[in-house]
Amino acid sequence: MENSWATLGVDLHLDTPAAMASGVRRGLTDALREAVRGGRLAPGTRLPSSRSLATDLGIARNTVADAYADLVAEGWLTARQGSGTRVAERAVPGPVAAPRPRRTGGAPTYDLMAGRPDVASFPRAQWLKSARRALAAAPDDALGYGDPRGRVELRAALAAYLARARGVRADPDRIVVVPGIAHGLTLLGTLLHACGLGRIAVESYGLDLHWERLDRTGLRTVPLAVDDRGAHTDALTGHGAALLTPAHQFPTGVPLHPDRRAAAVDWARRAGGLILEDDYDGEFRYDRQSVGALQGLDPDRVIYLGTASKSLAPGLRLAWMVLPAALAPEAAELKDAHGAASSTLEQLTLADFLTSGAYDRHVRSARLRYRRRRDHLVASLAEHAPDVRVTGIAAGLHAVLRLPPGSEQTVVQAAHWQRLALQGLSRFRHPQTAEPPLDALVVGYGTPSDRAWEAALEALCRALP
Amino acid sequence: MENSWATLGVDLHLDTPAAMASGVRRGLTDALREAVRGGRLAPGTRLPSSRSLATDLGIARNTVADAYADLVAEGWLTARQGSGTRVAERAVPGPVAAPRPRRTGGAPTYDLMAGRPDVASFPRAQWLKSARRALAAAPDDALGYGDPRGRVELRAALAAYLARARGVRADPDRIVVVPGIAHGLTLLGTLLHACGLGRIAVESYGLDLHWERLDRTGLRTVPLAVDDRGAHTDALTGHGAALLTPAHQFPTGVPLHPDRRAAAVDWARRAGGLILEDDYDGEFRYDRQSVGALQGLDPDRVIYLGTASKSLAPGLRLAWMVLPAALAPEAAELKDAHGAASSTLEQLTLADFLTSGAYDRHVRSARLRYRRRRDHLVASLAEHAPDVRVTGIAAGLHAVLRLPPGSEQTVVQAAHWQRLALQGLSRFRHPQTAEPPLDALVVGYGTPSDRAWEAALEALCRALP
pLDDT at residue B106, rounded to an integer? 63
Position B280 in a domain: yes
Please check whether residues A138 and A164 belong to one and the same domain: yes
pLDDT-derived band at A40 (thresholds 50, 70, 90) equals: low
Domain endpoint, select from B358, B376, B408:
B358
Domain endpoint, select from A300, A328, A358:
A358
The tally of CA atoms less than 13 A away on the side-chain side of residue B53 is 26
Domain endpoint, select from A330, A358, A386:
A358
Please check whether residues A263 and A198 belong to one and the same domain: yes
pLDDT at residue B40, rounded to an integer? 67
Please check whether residues A297 and A413 belong to one and the same domain: no
Please check whether residues A347 and A375 belong to one and the same domain: no
pLDDT at residue B352, rounded to an integer? 97
Position B373 in a domain: yes
Measured distance CA(B369)–CA(B365) in Å, rounded: 6
Name which residue leads in pLDDT, B45 or A383. Answer: A383
Q: In CATH, what number is assigned to the domain containing residue B384?
A: 3.90.1150.10
Measured distance CA(A167)–CA(B120) in Å, rounded: 39
Share of chain B above pLDDT 70, in %: 91
For B321, phi and psi rounded to 5 degrees? -125, 140
Please check whether residues B114 and B127 belong to one and the same domain: no
Please check whether residues A338 and A294 belong to one and the same domain: yes
Q: In CATH, what number is assigned to the domain containing residue A224?
A: 3.40.640.10
Share of chain A above pLDDT 90, in %: 68
**pTM of the predicted model as reported, rounded to 2 decimal places:** 0.82
Please check whether residues B325 and B367 belong to one and the same domain: no
- If phi > 0 it is left, if psi is from -120 to 50 it is alpha, else beta; for residue B232 that is beta
Cα radius of gyration rounded to whole Å, chain B:
30
pLDDT at residue B1, rounded to an integer? 36
ipTM of the complex: 0.81
Whether the pLDDT of residue B3 is over 50: the answer is: no
pLDDT at residue A18, rounded to an integer? 41
Q: Considering chain A, what is the average pLDDT of its residues?
A: 87
For A384, phi and psi rounded to 5 degrees? -95, -25
Q: Read out DSSP for A356-400? A: TTHHHHHHHHHHHHHHHHHHHHHHHHHHH-TTPEEES-SBSSEEE
Nearest to A324 by CA among B89, B94, B75: B94
Q: Which letter, b or e, does each residue of B222-247 get, where b requires 16 or more Cβ atoms within 10 Å of its Cβ?
A: bbbebeeebbbbeebeebbbbbbbbb
Q: Read out DSSP for B158-209? A: HHHHHHHHH-----GGGEEEES-HHHHHHHHHHHHHHTT--EEEEESBS-HH
Whether the pLDDT of residue B270 is over 70: the answer is: yes
Cβ within 8 Å of residue A139, ≥6 positions away: none
Please check whether residues B230 and B369 belong to one and the same domain: no
Contact B24, B63 (CB under 8 A): yes
The average pLDDT across B357-361 equals: 95
Q: Considering chain B, what is the average pLDDT of its residues?
A: 87
Say how far residue B364 (Cα) sits from the centre of its chain: 24
Total Cβ atoms within 10 A of residue A105: 5
The enclosing H or E element of B105 equals none
pLDDT at residue B397, rounded to an integer? 93
Closest chain A residue to the Cα of B310, Cα to Cα: A144
pLDDT tens column, A210-246: 999 999 999 999 999 999 999 999 999 999 999 999 9
Please check whether residues A184 and A288 belong to one and the same domain: yes
Give the number of domains in chain B: 3
- B444 and chain A: CB distance < 8 Å anywhere? no
pLDDT at residue B68, rounded to an integer? 87
pLDDT at residue A95, rounded to an integer? 39
Contact B298, B268 (CB under 8 A): yes
**Nearest-10 crossing angle of helices A50-57, A61-74:** 120
Contact A200, A224 (CB under 8 A): no
pLDDT-derived band at A92 (thresholds 50, 70, 90) equals: very low
Position B9 in a domain: no
Asked if A266 lies within 8 A of B90 by C-beta distance, the reply is yes
pLDDT at residue A215, rounded to an integer? 95
Position A9 in a domain: no
pLDDT at residue A90, rounded to an integer? 65
- If phi > 0 it is left, if psi is from -120 to 50 it is alpha, else beta; for residue A298 that is beta
Please check whether residues B211 and B235 belong to one and the same domain: yes
pLDDT tens column, B381-435: 999 999 899 998 888 999 999 999 999 999 999 999 989 999 999 999 999 999 8
Task: Identify any residues that bridge with A199 across adjacent strands, giving them in sequence order.
Answer: A220
Chain A residues closer than 8 Å to B133 by CB: none
Position B12 in a domain: no
Chain A residues closer than 8 Å to B167 by CB: 33, 74
Asked if A75 lies within 8 A of B261 by C-beta distance, the reply is yes
Whether the pLDDT of residue B55 is over 80: the answer is: no
Position A101 in a domain: no
Cross-chain CB nearest to B90 (options A182, A213, A262): A262
Contact A193, A390 (CB under 8 A): no
Least confident of A239-253, B252-266, B335-349: B335-349
pLDDT at residue B53, rounded to an integer? 80
Please check whether residues B184 and B237 belong to one and the same domain: yes
The average pLDDT across B195-216 equals: 95
For B243, phi and psi rounded to 5 degrees? -100, 120
Cross-chain CB nearest to B315 (options A124, A143, A299): A143
Most confident option among A120-134, B40-54, B288-302 = A120-134
Please check whether residues B127 and B24 belong to one and the same domain: no
pLDDT tens column, B147-187: 999 999 999 999 999 998 999 999 999 999 999 999 999 99
Position B313 in a domain: yes
Q: Which of residues 130-169 of B touch A (CB under 8 A)?
A: 131-132, 135-136, 140-146, 167, 169
The dihedral through the CA atoms of B349, B354, B357, B359 has a sign that is positive
pLDDT tens column, A159-184: 999 998 999 999 999 999 999 999 99
pLDDT at residue B175, rounded to an integer? 98
Position A95 in a domain: no
B420-421 vs B110-111, strand pairing mode: parallel
Q: In CATH, what number is assigned to the domain containing residue B33?
A: 1.10.10.10
pLDDT at residue B17, rounded to an integer? 38
Contact B306, B279 (CB under 8 A): yes
pLDDT at residue B198, rounded to an integer? 95
pLDDT-derived band at A5 (thresholds 50, 70, 90) equals: very low
The average pLDDT across B126-140 equals: 96
Structural domain boundaries enclosing A146: 123-358
Measured distance CA(A223)–CA(A239) in Å, rounded: 11
